[in-house]
Structures are given as C-alpha cells and as structure tokens.
Chains A and B, each alone.
Chain A
Amino acid sequence: MTTAPTTRVGRTRRRRTAGGALAPWAFLSPAAILFVLFLIIPIGYALYLSFTQLKVAGGAFGKKQQVFVGFDNYVASLTDPEFVASLGRLGMFAIIAVPLTLGLALVFALLLDIPRVRATRFSRTAIFLPYAVPGVIATLMWGFMYLPSTSPFTAAFTSLGLPAPDFLAAPEIFGSLANIAIWSGIGFNMVVMYTALRSIPAELYEAARIDGANEWTIAWRIKIPLLSPALILTFLFSVIATLQAYGEPQTLRSLSNSISYSFFPLMKVYRDAFALDNIPGAAATSVVLALGTLLISVFLLRGLQRRTFDS
C-alpha cells in the first residue's frame, strides 16, 4: 500500500491531510462496511439474479439450477402489459400528486415569507405536522374519510341532496391516492423551500420594495428564480418518493376493490417476488426502476448544477 509515504508528504505539504492518511478511512470504515454489506452487495446480487433463471437441468431427475439467460428477464419485464399498465397508473398518480404537492408547498412557503402575515407559527407547524405521520397511518385516516359509511364528505354531499362521489372507485381513486401523498408531502417541501427563502439576503427585497414592487412581483421576479435550486431538489425528492409509492396503495387496498395486486410498479415487483416466486423477474423489474430513477435524477441534477453555476 502507498499509505505510509503519502502520510509523510501530506504532513508537510497539505495541511488538511496532516492527521495521516489512515485516519479518514478509519472514520469512514463503519459507514463503508455497512454501505458495502447493505447497498453494494445487494445491488450486485440483484443484478446477478436479474440475468438468471431457475431451470431444471439434466432431464426428469435434474435439480433446479440458476442458469444464465442474458436479457430474457428484462425483455419479459419490459414487454409485460401488466408492468406497462402499472407504470401508466403511477404516471397518472404522479401527474396529480407531484405538481400539486410542490405548487401548494411553494405557495405556503412564499406566504410565510411575507411580512405582516399572522399566525404563521401555527400554520407552519400545522402544515408540517403530517410529515411525522407514517404513510400507512395517513392512508388509514384518509381511507376511513373516503369510506362511504364513515366519510364526512359523503355525509356532507348527502345532506345537500347531491350524489356523493365514490372516492374508492376507479377514476376517483387516483385523486384519493394523490390527496394522501399531497397531504403527507406539502409540509416537508414547504419547510425546505421556506428555509431556502430565509437564506436570501433581505436587502434584495427591501430595495425592490422601495422601488414600489409589490409582494407578487417580488415573489415572481426575485424569490422564485432564486429558489430554483431548492425547487429542483424538492422536485427530485418528490419524483423519487412517487416512484416508490407502495405503503399507501397497499394499505388502501384493504378498503378499495379498485386497487389491484399490481396497481403500482412496486406492488407488482413485490407480488412477482413473493407471491409468484419469480425472483429473477422481480429483480429485473426493480433494476429497470432503479435505472429509470437514476436517469431522471442525473438529468435533474445536471439542471441544478447549471443553475447554481450560473448564479
């Protein structure tokens, strides 16, 4: 190893390395060991599995063996109409949930940042509160508020003499699921945007206010452009979280017949792996999902880097 000489050189040349080249690795080692055990090895294993299949080899008495099958699982996964349909449903859900979550979070963050707005502490805390509520519990609460026999909304419609929508039936279910995601997601994104807003120097607005700009103009012309790194980051987090939607639809299944076993991609992966015993197929699908997430993320982070570099 080359550690010993670099230590001595580092000690004289670079100040920050003065502690010796082994010290940082010693500090990193607990994280590194866990990272290898619980991220790198599982990913490697998933990749390996995704290129194999269990096949009976050697005639009638042969044992089942892990056989290398190339991209067969990937082809099967990508051409499976069930998977494509689940992606479509996820897309439908995401198109409602992501813009509304981020849009509302942005509106609330901007309003909190305006002077002379009252009860901001209360509103901020209340809107942030759902962040501490697990998705399963949020689904349970909203689920009962959707269920016709216990729903306050159904009761309100009925008392007005109107036909109540069935929140748990086919087209409405997307809005119902999105509502749970929005409810859970607004607070965290709002706080991230709000703290980013607070870090913008106040002089920038004071000058604009003296020039007669109103809060609306200040928000559009100054705050939102300066927020764009935070907006890209929250968008990235929201997209990743949406792609991984699992607990909410799985829980709502108990109350709704319109959510199938393979409603969202992750539910299909789980079902393939554990109910249908098709681990290689599930591995291939999950690798496809991981690659998709990475591609979207890299694309967004490129945009983020360009933004921060320009400003």
Chain B
Amino acid sequence: MNTTSATVARPRLGHALPTRRNRPGVRVIPTIILLLGAVYTLLPIVWVITASTKSSGELFTSGSFTFGTGFWDNLAQLSAYSGGAFWKWAGNSLLYAGGGAILSTFVSATAGYALARYNFRGRSLVFTVLLAGVLIPQITLAIPQYLLVSEIGLSNSYWSVLLPSIINPFGIYLACIYAQSSVPGDTIEAARIDGGNEFRIFRSIALPMMVPGLVTVFMLQFIGIWNNFLLPFIMLSDESKFPLTQGLYLLLNRGTGTPVLYTLAIMGALLSIIPLVALMLFLQRFWRLDLISGSLKG
C-alpha cells in the first residue's frame, strides 16, 4: 500500500526534491509494523507490571493483564524476604555495575587514547591481541579465573566479580575509535609545543573531548555487568554477595517447591528493570551508538 501511494504521489511532484514538508501523508504500513514491534517488546513488561499487583492466589486464578490487590503486600514480603536480601542484591548489583563500569571506562579511556594518538612499536600487535580478547567466550575465561582467584583466596569476595569486569577489550576499542575522531592530533601537537607534559595534555585536553564517547563506553559496560550472570554464578556462593540476576534466579529456583516465591520473583523482576530502563531513557540522548557501527571503518 505504501508503495502504491508513493508511485501515485511521485509524478505530480516532478522535479521538486521530495522533502518531508512538501509530501504530505503518513506511511501507514511501516508505522503499523513498527508499532507491532513495540507491542511485542512491551508485552512482557506490561505482563510483569500487572502480575506484580497480584497476590499469589490471584496469580494463578485471575486473567492475565488484569490488576490484582496484592502490590503492597508483595513489595513488603519481597523486602522482608530473608532479612532484606533483595535490597542487598540490588545494592550489590549497583556496586558491581557502577564500580566496574567507572573503573573500566577509565582504563578504556587511557588505553584508547594511547592507541589513537601515539604511533609506537607494537601498536598493531596490541590491536590484534585486543581483537582476540573481544572474541574469547566468557566461559573459557571464567573457569580458570575462578581457579586462580581461589588460589589467591579471593573467591566468593566482591573483588572476584569486580576485578574481571574492569577489563573490556571492546570498550578500549570504542574509546580508541572515538579518540581518533574527536581529539585532533594538531591540538595535542600544539599543547606539546607549549610544553605541556603528556599526562596533563591527556587530562585537561584529550579527556574532556572524549566524554561523549566515554559515556557510551560506560553505559555499555554498566549494562553488560548488570546483566551478567555467568561470572557471579561461578565466583560467588555467599548469597549476601549475589547481584540481582543471581538472587532472582535463586528465588525462582526455590519457587519450584513453593509457588509463593513466584510472586516475589515477579515483583523482583519488575523492581530490577525499573532503574535500568529509567537510566536508559534518561541517557538515550547522550548515547553514541553510532560508534559501534562506525567502528567498522576503523
């Protein structure tokens, strides 16, 4: 339908450049297909919002997508579960994702800047090693990481999840691409002629220029760590150190015997997606995801 309307409209326009303004009418089918996509992605989120309002009895008896009466009860029960374990997990997730992403962004920024703005021996080797690092499956690393971390007595500690999360080869790569396009070599050169030392040049000239790209590196790594399951699953056995993903897995797993825990798991799922969705919506305008598609040309 959209194609027919377009072919009808076109001859009349003739020579005029088809801009948005002089071609009225909405393309209906593409709009509908996109809205259907949105319905599909929002469906489970709407389901979890409505399900979180149901008491454990209502969950199995009332119809889907209707509201129940148990929202505050569920919230109170989840908060009270195992001495406030849920909020402890939420705090842990924030610590792992926030702390890990800040450190990771810093490490990526310095390394990316070095790769972008210096020509040194071994630079291409560093690039090759980095690329290989992007491609190594996590399980290949996680088991020996666990054994090594146990060896030095750090297993089941906050460090065992935090430290491996700091190194992010893809983040370094993105920081490098961004530095190449946003930090002009001439500016650095001019600062050198003025006698600035390398670290001050980086801190006061290059780093501020790299901020938009670094926000993206931070967000990608934050979400990556927040969503990670395998690493904490292998490293941690102490429930009080679990992040949200592992904590909710535990709830669901225990729920198999006691369906009351299902409502808690559903409430937990809702609460744990709210902050990330809010953060994403808020930071959307600052994202530079074109970096990822732009990285192809690098």
Contacts and interface: CB of A to CB of B under 8 A. Distances in A.
B185 A16 contact: yes
A114 to B, nearest CB: 5
Contacts of A142: 44
**Is the contact region of chain B dominated by helix, strand, or loop, or is it mixed?**
helix
Given A183-B40, A206-B17, A119 B64 contact: no
Contacts of A195: 289-290, 292-294
Interface residues of B, number: 113
A50 B80 CA distance: 45
A27 B176 CA distance: 12
Among B10, B118, B233, the most chain A Cβ lie within 10 Å of the Cβ of B118
Contacts of A116: 20, 23, 25-27
A127 interface: yes
A233 interface: yes
A126 B229 contact: no
A132 B27 CA distance: 30
B185 A117 contact: no
Contacts of A273: 143
A49 interface: yes
B77 interface: no
A129 B169 contact: no
B139 A42 contact: no
Contacts of A137: 244-245, 248, 269, 272-273
A12 interface: no
A246 B118 contact: no
Interface of B: 2-3, 6-7, 10, 15, 17-18, 20, 23, 25-27, 30-31, 33-35, 37-38, 40-45, 47-48, 51, 59-60, 63-65, 106-108, 110-111, 113-115, 117-121, 123, 126, 129, 132-133, 135-141, 143-145, 147-148, 163-164, 166-167, 169, 172, 185, 189, 192, 198-199, 201-202, 223, 226-227, 229-230, 233-234, 244-246, 248-249, 252-253, 255-256, 262, 265-266, 269, 272-273, 276-277, 279-281, 284, 289-290, 292-297
Interface of A: 6, 14-21, 23-28, 30-32, 34-35, 37-39, 41-43, 45-46, 49, 104, 107-108, 111-112, 114-120, 122-138, 140-145, 149-152, 155, 183, 186-187, 191-193, 195-196, 198-199, 206, 209-210, 212, 214-216, 229-230, 233, 240, 243-244, 246-247, 250-251, 254-255, 266, 269-270, 273-274, 279, 282-283, 286-287, 289-290, 293-294, 297, 304, 308
